[in-house]
Protein backbone atom coordinates (compact mmCIF):
# COMPACT_ATOMS: atom_id res chain seq x y z
CA UNK A 1 0.00 0.00 0.00
CA UNK A 2 2.51 2.65 1.19
CA UNK A 3 5.29 1.04 -0.90
CA UNK A 4 3.50 2.22 -4.06
CA UNK A 5 3.28 5.74 -2.63
CA UNK A 6 6.93 5.57 -1.58
CA UNK A 7 7.97 4.52 -5.10
CA UNK A 8 5.85 7.28 -6.65
CA UNK A 9 7.48 9.87 -4.39
CA UNK A 10 10.95 8.46 -5.17
CA UNK A 11 10.34 8.85 -8.91
CA UNK A 12 8.93 12.37 -8.52
CA UNK A 13 11.90 13.61 -6.48
CA UNK A 14 14.57 12.17 -8.81
CA UNK A 15 15.35 15.58 -10.39
CA UNK A 16 15.80 17.14 -6.93
CA UNK A 17 18.05 14.58 -5.25
CA UNK A 18 20.98 14.76 -7.68
CA UNK A 19 22.51 17.50 -5.50
CA UNK A 20 22.57 15.32 -2.37
CA UNK A 21 26.29 15.05 -1.52
CA UNK A 22 25.96 11.68 0.26
CA UNK A 23 26.06 8.21 -1.23
CA UNK A 24 22.92 6.04 -1.14
CA UNK A 25 24.60 3.66 1.33
CA UNK A 26 25.49 6.60 3.61
CA UNK A 27 21.83 7.68 3.60
CA UNK A 28 20.81 4.11 4.49
CA UNK A 29 23.20 4.13 7.47
CA UNK A 30 21.95 7.57 8.57
CA UNK A 31 18.40 6.19 8.47
CA UNK A 32 19.48 3.26 10.66
CA UNK A 33 21.24 5.58 13.14
CA UNK A 34 18.08 7.69 13.30
CA UNK A 35 16.08 4.54 14.11
CA UNK A 36 18.54 3.72 16.91
CA UNK A 37 18.02 7.26 18.22
CA UNK A 38 14.24 6.69 18.05
CA UNK A 39 14.66 3.49 20.08
CA UNK A 40 16.63 5.38 22.73
CA UNK A 41 13.91 8.03 22.89
CA UNK A 42 11.22 5.34 23.21
CA UNK A 43 13.26 3.91 26.11
CA UNK A 44 12.91 7.26 27.91
CA UNK A 45 9.13 7.21 27.45
CA UNK A 46 8.97 10.14 25.00
CA UNK A 47 6.51 8.69 22.48
CA UNK A 48 6.04 11.84 20.41
CA UNK A 49 9.77 12.44 20.05
CA UNK A 50 10.32 8.83 19.03
CA UNK A 51 7.50 9.07 16.47
CA UNK A 52 9.09 12.13 14.85
CA UNK A 53 12.42 10.32 14.65
CA UNK A 54 10.75 7.34 12.97
CA UNK A 55 9.37 9.75 10.37
CA UNK A 56 12.86 11.22 9.88
CA UNK A 57 14.30 7.73 9.51
CA UNK A 58 11.59 6.97 6.93
CA UNK A 59 12.66 10.06 4.98
CA UNK A 60 16.21 8.71 4.70
CA UNK A 61 14.84 5.28 3.82
CA UNK A 62 12.89 6.88 0.99
CA UNK A 63 15.59 9.08 -0.49
CA UNK A 64 18.44 6.53 -0.42
CA UNK A 65 16.81 4.66 -3.30
CA UNK A 66 15.97 7.90 -5.11
CA UNK A 67 19.59 9.08 -4.86
CA UNK A 68 20.79 5.68 -6.11
CA UNK A 69 18.51 5.95 -9.17
CA UNK A 70 19.28 9.61 -9.86
CA UNK A 71 23.04 9.08 -9.72
CA UNK A 72 23.04 5.68 -11.43
CA UNK A 73 24.46 4.03 -8.29
CA UNK A 74 21.99 1.19 -7.78
CA UNK A 75 23.89 -1.90 -6.67
CA UNK A 76 23.02 -5.36 -5.44
CA UNK A 77 24.96 -4.69 -2.24
CA UNK A 78 23.03 -1.46 -1.69
CA UNK A 79 19.76 -3.41 -1.83
CA UNK A 80 21.11 -5.98 0.65
CA UNK A 81 22.38 -3.25 2.99
CA UNK A 82 19.02 -1.46 2.84
CA UNK A 83 17.14 -4.64 3.71
CA UNK A 84 19.48 -5.54 6.58
CA UNK A 85 19.31 -2.01 8.01
CA UNK A 86 15.50 -2.09 7.81
CA UNK A 87 15.39 -5.34 9.82
CA UNK A 88 17.85 -3.97 12.37
CA UNK A 89 15.87 -0.72 12.64
CA UNK A 90 12.61 -2.61 13.23
CA UNK A 91 14.14 -4.73 15.99
CA UNK A 92 15.92 -1.88 17.77
CA UNK A 93 12.80 0.34 17.76
CA UNK A 94 10.72 -2.44 19.28
CA UNK A 95 13.51 -3.16 21.79
CA UNK A 96 13.40 0.49 22.85
CA UNK A 97 9.66 0.18 23.45
CA UNK A 98 10.14 -3.00 25.50
CA UNK A 99 12.80 -1.28 27.61
CA UNK A 100 10.53 1.72 28.15
CA UNK A 101 7.69 -0.55 29.28
CA UNK A 102 9.83 -2.67 31.62
CA UNK A 103 11.51 0.42 33.08
CA UNK A 104 8.08 1.93 33.77
CA UNK A 105 8.58 4.88 31.41
CA UNK A 106 5.86 3.72 29.03
CA UNK A 107 2.45 2.92 30.47
CA UNK A 108 2.22 -0.85 30.92
CA UNK A 109 -1.15 -1.40 29.38
CA UNK A 110 -2.49 -4.90 28.88
CA UNK A 111 -4.54 -5.59 25.78
CA UNK A 112 -6.72 -8.71 25.96
CA UNK A 113 -4.93 -9.55 29.24
CA UNK A 114 -1.57 -9.74 27.41
CA UNK A 115 1.13 -7.33 28.69
CA UNK A 116 2.38 -4.72 26.24
CA UNK A 117 5.98 -6.01 26.20
CA UNK A 118 4.74 -9.41 24.99
CA UNK A 119 2.66 -7.80 22.23
CA UNK A 120 5.86 -6.05 21.14
CA UNK A 121 7.65 -9.42 20.98
CA UNK A 122 4.82 -10.72 18.74
CA UNK A 123 5.21 -7.58 16.59
CA UNK A 124 8.92 -8.28 16.16
CA UNK A 125 8.18 -11.88 15.17
CA UNK A 126 5.51 -10.79 12.69
CA UNK A 127 7.70 -8.07 11.19
CA UNK A 128 10.57 -10.47 10.64
CA UNK A 129 8.39 -13.21 9.18
CA UNK A 130 6.79 -10.78 6.70
CA UNK A 131 10.27 -10.10 5.31
CA UNK A 132 11.46 -13.70 5.60
CA UNK A 133 8.49 -15.16 3.70
CA UNK A 134 9.12 -12.67 0.91
CA UNK A 135 12.84 -13.46 0.70
CA UNK A 136 12.34 -17.20 0.90
CA UNK A 137 9.55 -17.23 -1.69
CA UNK A 138 11.52 -15.06 -4.12
CA UNK A 139 14.55 -17.35 -3.66
CA UNK A 140 12.26 -20.30 -4.50
CA UNK A 141 11.22 -18.63 -7.76
CA UNK A 142 8.23 -16.39 -7.00
CA UNK A 143 8.70 -13.27 -9.11
CA UNK A 144 7.22 -10.54 -6.94
CA UNK A 145 6.07 -10.64 -3.34
CA UNK A 146 5.07 -6.99 -2.91
CA UNK A 147 1.73 -8.05 -1.46
CA UNK A 148 0.12 -7.83 1.94
CA UNK A 149 -1.42 -5.27 4.22
CA UNK A 150 1.55 -4.74 6.55
CA UNK A 151 4.77 -4.09 4.73
CA UNK A 152 7.35 -2.00 6.56
CA UNK A 153 6.02 1.48 5.64
CA UNK A 154 2.54 0.55 6.86
CA UNK A 155 3.91 -0.85 10.12
CA UNK A 156 5.95 2.26 10.82
CA UNK A 157 3.04 4.60 10.04
CA UNK A 158 0.78 2.63 12.41
CA UNK A 159 3.46 2.86 15.10
CA UNK A 160 3.88 6.61 14.52
CA UNK A 161 0.11 7.18 14.67
CA UNK A 162 -0.15 5.16 17.88
CA UNK A 163 2.75 7.01 19.48
CA UNK A 164 1.43 10.45 18.60
CA UNK A 165 -2.12 9.66 19.72
CA UNK A 166 -1.15 7.90 22.99
CA UNK A 167 -2.59 4.63 21.67
CA UNK A 168 0.76 2.87 21.47
CA UNK A 169 -0.52 -0.43 22.86
CA UNK A 170 -3.42 -0.56 20.44
CA UNK A 171 -1.18 0.31 17.49
CA UNK A 172 1.18 -2.53 18.37
CA UNK A 173 -1.72 -4.98 18.56
CA UNK A 174 -2.82 -3.79 15.11
CA UNK A 175 0.72 -4.38 13.83
CA UNK A 176 0.68 -7.91 15.29
CA UNK A 177 -2.64 -8.74 13.64
CA UNK A 178 -1.76 -7.20 10.26
CA UNK A 179 1.72 -8.73 10.06
CA UNK A 180 0.31 -12.19 10.65
CA UNK A 181 -2.41 -11.59 8.04
CA UNK A 182 0.35 -10.51 5.63
CA UNK A 183 2.34 -13.67 6.38
CA UNK A 184 -0.70 -15.78 5.48
CA UNK A 185 -1.35 -13.69 2.33
CA UNK A 186 2.24 -14.17 1.20
CA UNK A 187 2.28 -17.89 1.95
CA UNK A 188 -0.93 -18.42 -0.04
CA UNK A 189 0.41 -16.32 -2.92
CA UNK A 190 3.69 -18.26 -2.89
CA UNK A 191 1.79 -21.57 -2.85
CA UNK A 192 -0.27 -20.55 -5.92
CA UNK A 193 2.79 -19.24 -7.75
CA UNK A 194 5.00 -22.25 -7.05
CA UNK A 195 2.34 -24.80 -7.95
Instruction: Report the CATH number at residue 32.
Output: 1.20.120.1760
Taking the CA of residue 98 as centre, how many other CA atoms within 13 Å lie in the half-sphere pointing to its CB?
Answer: 14
One DSSP character per residue, 78-89 reads: HHHHHHHHHHHH
Catalytically active residues, by annotation? 86
Predicted pLDDT of residue 18: 75
Residues of the chain with pLDDT under 50: none
- Given a contact cutoff of 8 angstroms between Cβ atoms, the answer to whether 178 and 59 are in contact is no
- Given a contact cutoff of 8 angstroms between Cβ atoms, the answer to whether 151 and 1 are in contact is yes
Task: List the domain range (segments joined by +) for residue 46.
Answer: 2-194
Predicted pLDDT of residue 86: 95
Phi-psi region of 151 (alpha: psi -120 to 50; beta: other; left: phi over 0): beta
3-state SS class at 110: strand
Domain count of the chain? Answer: 1
Predicted pLDDT of residue 161: 97
- Given a contact cutoff of 8 angstroms between Cβ atoms, the answer to whether 183 and 126 are in contact is yes
Predicted pLDDT of residue 68: 87
Q: What is the pTM of this model?
A: 0.91
Q: Which of 119, 104, 99, 108 is nearest to 159 (CA)?
A: 119
Predicted pLDDT of residue 3: 59
Amino acid sequence: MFNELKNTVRVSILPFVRWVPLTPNSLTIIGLLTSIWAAAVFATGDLSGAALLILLSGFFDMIDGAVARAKGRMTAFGAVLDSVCDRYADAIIFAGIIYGVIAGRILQTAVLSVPLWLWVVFAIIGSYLVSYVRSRAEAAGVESMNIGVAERPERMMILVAGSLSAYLGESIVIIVVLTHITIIQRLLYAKRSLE
